[in-house]
Amino acid sequence: MDSVNLEVLRQAVAWSAAGVPVTLATVVRTWGSSPRPEGALLAIAGDGRLVGSVSGGCIEDDLLDRLRNERPKRPEHVTYGITAEQTRRFGLPCGGKLELVLEPVGADNRLAEVLAGIERGEMVARRLDLASGAVDLLADVPDSAVVFDGRTLVAAFGPRWRMLIIGAGQLSRYLAEFALALDYQVTISEPREEYRESWAVPGASVTIEMPDDAVIALRPDRRTVIIGATHDPKLDDLALIDALKTNAFYIGAIGSRANSERRRERLKLFDLTDADVDRLLGPVGLPLGSRTPPEIALAILADVTARRNGVRLIAADARPESVDDACPTLA
């Protein structure tokens, strides 16, 4: 999960265990351009300390003032940015709007259990009933970060997003650096010694396993991205054959359109259905006209990010389809 949210959970658990009153704020809905995504967390201690973020700072200041006067006794649903005046006051860009749930963290908050599940590499769903403040954990974890119906809040938590890159070439170096900056846990599968000798990206782990073994060892899940980046079918295809049998979120491979079509035909010769092969993204990345390794890496991470955020892009110019993403002038 997002390392900022993980820090928030850890601090909230520590404060609560020490007897410090804690209010947990969760972003549950956003419209237009909002500073933080749905599922973002902020924990505010009774003495005014805070960790995490739900905006650029103005909303945090307002929440501190609100909680300084009266801390909620049960969960509350609050909205910022309804009017142009609020938008200006709280610094929401481009007419943005966001909704929060403020939760007084009680004795039965079950946040420690959520943390334990994350550390075991599990996905965990935590359900909060706003009327009673009751919390329970669910086995069925939603695909989205939060599900909110006005009465209950279900928040999904889990391990950090992971990226497996096949090959330790120049493109992979930029992919790894960009992915690390976006808080991915990055692994490089590189069985070729000559490529490993020149690899130097701090924070990215390297395995000498063959790509298919690396995929199996990774146990891909809905927070896993797998990119074939060698141009060598003997390596990329090995990884893709096993990756396409998993529920990895994003599976792609570099190559021209012609080579990508030939790869799909090769993959159909293995124990893969047409539906499996259709999941392969190739040529991988947004059509940015990329030519250099950093540009190609940018195109790949941009596509992954857009899909993670549920944004559909027009292939011709990569503009958002929705007019909601435009930046209106405030009245």
**pLDDT for position 314:** 60
Tokens at 64, concatenated? 């501190």
**pLDDT for position 322:** 36
Beta-carbon count within 10 A of 252 CB:
23
Please compute, for residue 54, the number of CA atoms within 13 A of its CA located in the half-sphere on the CB side. Answer: 32
Distances (CA, A) of 46 to 26, 63, 120, 269, 287: 17, 12, 30, 62, 49
Beta-carbon count within 10 A of 148 CB:
20
Beta-carbon count within 10 A of 72 CB:
14
Q: What is the pLDDT along the chain (331 residues), one digit of tens a residue?
A: 667 888 999 999 999 999 999 999 999 998 765 667 889 999 999 999 999 988 866 788 889 888 888 888 999 999 987 666 665 665 555 556 789 999 999 989 999 999 999 888 788 999 999 999 999 999 888 877 899 999 999 999 887 789 999 999 999 999 999 999 988 989 999 999 999 998 999 999 999 999 999 999 999 988 899 999 999 999 999 999 999 999 999 999 999 999 999 999 999 999 999 999 999 999 999 999 999 999 999 999 999 999 988 887 765 444 434 333 332 222 2
Q: What angle do CA 206, 211, 217 make, to 5 degrees?
A: 75
Give the integer Cα–Cα distance in Å for 134 and 88: 36
ω into 37 cis (within 30 of 0): no
Domains of the chain in start order, with CATH, are 3-157 (no CATH), 162-308 (3.40.50.720)
